[in-house]
Structure 1
Amino acid sequence: MSGETATDNVPGVSSESQARNVIYCGVCTLPPEYCEFGGTVKKCEEWLEKYHPDMHEKLYSDDALNANLSALSVDAQKRAQKDAAKKEAKAALNEQRESERKAAAKVLIKRVERNKRKYVTVVSGLEEHGLDLKKIAKELGKKFATGSSVTKTASGGEEITVQGDVSDDVYDWLTERYEDIPEDNIDCIEDKKKKGAG
């Protein structure tokens, strides 16, 4: 039994393992055959047509769709069309809500006085726009040649703290670099520490 594998004696199974090349959708991350269950079918279909036209033809050509529909009864066809319409409407509604949420999300740039005219600039609200805070903190540190880090807030969120008074420069940089954030949604405020009596 030395040198034999479990599949050596099974008829029809080769002992060599065969690797499969599985394509995953760039939109919903499911294999394209299962995109219909992801809720973003239209976008998935557009992605597949752009990056894998041969597979798109196999799954979405008129012949393929008709073959799939003809296998269903008339009632099942109607249900499938209704379900597809519902999923598409739900995906469109979710997309609209997401864009409204992003449009309403505020980005606050605070100039905070620490002590004896030393300042830090705190940027909050960027995560609402789907941005990677660690990446932006690193970019800000390089841009202004200063320390920059992501810190937790008392409410459980995250914000970027940049050493120095660079609030106006950060405002200009954000409006130039991230044009999808409406300029009206970026506010600069000043937060002074109260001086103790003494």
Structure 2
Amino acid sequence: MAEVAQPLAETQARRLTYCGVCTLPPEYCEFGGTAKKCQDWLKDNHADLYQRLYSEDAISANLSTLSVSVQERVAKDAAKKEAKAAAAEARDAERRATSKVQIKRVERNKRKHVSVVTGLEVYGLENKKVAKELGKKFATGSSVTKSAAGIEEITVQGDVSEEIKEWLLEIHGKQIYESNIEIIEDKKKKKGAAEP
């Protein structure tokens, strides 16, 4: 028996649009906390989709199916979510403005030094990724360890504290400002030295 070849149906790839603010599809932006910002972004970048979702006709058609009490509850929930997201964003911005990235130059032996970097997680940087990038950049050993206080820190072999500062400003300058980076020199006390 001969098999008859069926013509394959041509499949079409779908192009999805994702919000530039909350990274959800625009239909689901209302469930995030930044609905107003998402609407503004959608209006600027995808006007046709904005009209389909947020035009007067679309909103009135969607609201007409809801009862008055449900409409009020939806409006209250949206306002609460937006206020909560705005407060969280303000807290993060304040925390970033006041926190410092510390780069310590620690003396190991007579002429051997390591550079220890702390405080990057506040700026949304992952210590392991940064440690790997620093190891490649300076062609040296680099690792993430826990300090005695329980804080994760990046240890880079060598006296490269100034170079790390320059690299952070060059690569992550949009997130970290120069005023938020401080270099600390940590020297071991010599034995037998007279104290003043």
Normalising by the smaller structure, the TM-score range is 0.7 to 0.9
TM-score (structure 1 length as normaliser): 0.74
Which among 106, 116, 125 is matched to residue 122 of structure 1? 116
Note the residue ranges of structure 2 that are not aligned, 5 or more in a row.
Answer: 1-12
Residue range with higher mean Cα deviation, 59-68 or 69-78: 69-78
Note the residue ranges of structure 1 that are not aligned, 5 or more in a row.
Answer: 1-19
Q: Equivalent residues in 2 for 1:35-46 (5 A)? A: 35-46=29-40
Deviation at 1:50, TM superposition (A): 7.0
1:105: which partner in 2? 99
Does the alignment pair 1:141 with 2:130? no
The Cα offsets for residues 17-48 of structure 1, whole Å up to 9 and x where unpaired, read as: xxx97877665465544432222223444565
What one-letter code is carried by the residue in structure 1 that aligns with 2:96? K
2:79: which partner in 1? 85
Q: Kindly report the root-mean-square deviation, in angstroms, between the aligned alpha carbons of the 2 structures.
A: 2.9
1:11: which partner in 2? none
Structure-2 change in CA distance of 1:49 and 1:137 (3 Å):
farther
- Secondary structure of 1:177 counterpart: helix
Does the alignment pair 1:96 with 2:66? no
2:177: which partner in 1? 182
Identical pairs, percent: 66
| 8 Å Cα contact 2:101-2:119 kept in structure 1 | yes
Deviation at 1:53, TM superposition (A): 6.2
Does the alignment pair 1:193 with 2:188? yes
Q: Distance in 1 between matches of 2:150 and 2:17?
A: 38
What one-letter code is carried by the residue in structure 1 that aligns with 2:93? S
Aligned length: 181
Deviation at 1:183, TM superposition (A): 1.5
Structure-2 change in CA distance of 1:31 and 1:155 (3 Å):
farther
Q: Distance in 2 between matches of 1:92 and 1:43?
A: 10
